[in-house]
Amino acid sequence: MIKLDVPIKDDISNLKAGDVVYLSGNILTARDQAHKRILEEGSPYDLEGVAIFHAGPIIKNDGTDDNPNYKMVAIGPTTSMRMNPYQADVIDKGVKLVIGKGGMNESVQEALKRNGAAYLVATGGCAALYVNGIEEIEDVEWLDLGMPEAIWNLKVKCFGPLIVAMDSHGNTLYK
C-alpha cells in the first residue's frame, strides 16, 4: 500500500502497475465536457501535480443557490475511455494522476510515460465506499455544465483503494 499526498510534488515514477494507492489532499473531478473546456478555455485550477477523478458525483445542496452547502452522497468512477480524445493533452498540462475505470488508449499511455504520470483504477460499484475518503467539498467550477460534469475540488484523506493500472513505464494491467 502506497500513500500519496496530492497534488503530487515528488517523482512518482516508482509506481508500478498493480500497486495499491491511497490519496490525501485535494483531487478534482472531471468528465468529458470539463476536459474539453479545459483544452478550449484553460483550467480554472493549476493542474501541476493534480489528480483528476473521472467521476460524476451525486451531491446535495443543503443550502441555497446564493449560499450553497454541498454534501457528497456518492462518488464512483465513470468509464475513462470517454476522455480519450482529451486526456493526453490534459496530462501534458501537468496532471500526474488520472483515476477512473476501464482503462485508456495508447495516446494516454504515451502521455503518462512522457510526464511521469499514472492511471489509477477505482472499483466500480463502490461509490458509497469512496465517499468515506472525502472530508469536504472545497468548491466547484463550471456548474453550468451540470452537476456530474462540473469540476468538484475535493479534500480527501486515505481516498482509495486505487490500483495503478497504467504506469509511467508503459506497463498496463489491460494487456
| Number of structural domains in the chain | 1
Helices (H), the chain: 32-41, 84-91, 106-115, 127-131
Give the chain's mean pLDDT. 95
126 pLDDT exceeds 90? no
164 has a pLDDT exceeding 90: yes
Residue 44 has pLDDT above 90, yes or no: yes
At 113, give phi and psi (nearest 5°).
-65, -45
Lowest mean pLDDT among 22-26, 40-44, 110-114, 126-130: 126-130
* Residue 18 included in any domain: yes
35 is annotated as an active-site residue: yes
What are the tens digits of pLDDT across the range 94-114? 999 999 999 999 999 999 999
Q: What is the DSSP letter of 79?
A: B
- pLDDT at res. 175: 79
Output phi, psi for 137, to 5 deg: -95, 115
Residue 157 lies in a domain: yes
User: What would the mean pLDDT of 121-140 be, rounded to a whole number?
Assistant: 91
Give the residue numbers spanning the domain of 56. 2-166
Reported as a pLDDT band with limits 50, 70 and 90, residue 137 is very high
Higher-pLDDT residue of 128 and 67 is 67
Query: Which residue would you say has higher pLDDT here, 126 or 10?
Result: 10
Is residue 174 in some structural domain? no
In a domain, 171, yes or no: no
Please report whether residue 53 resides in a domain.
yes
Assigned domain for 173 exists: no
Residue 42: partners with Cβ closer than 8 Å, 6 or more residues away: none
Tell me: pLDDT of 65 over 90: no
Question: Quick one: CA dihedral 4, 101, 45, 143, positive or negative?
Answer: negative
Sign of the Cα torsion 95, 97, 103, 105 reads positive
Q: Is 96 left (phi over 0), alpha (psi -120 to 50) or beta?
A: alpha
Q: Does residue 122 lie in a domain region?
A: yes
CATH assignment at residue 70: 3.20.130.10
Please tell me which residue in 12, 23, 35, 127 is annotated as part of the active site.
35
Residue 67 lies in a domain: yes
Q: Grid coordinates 493549476 are at which residue?
A: 46
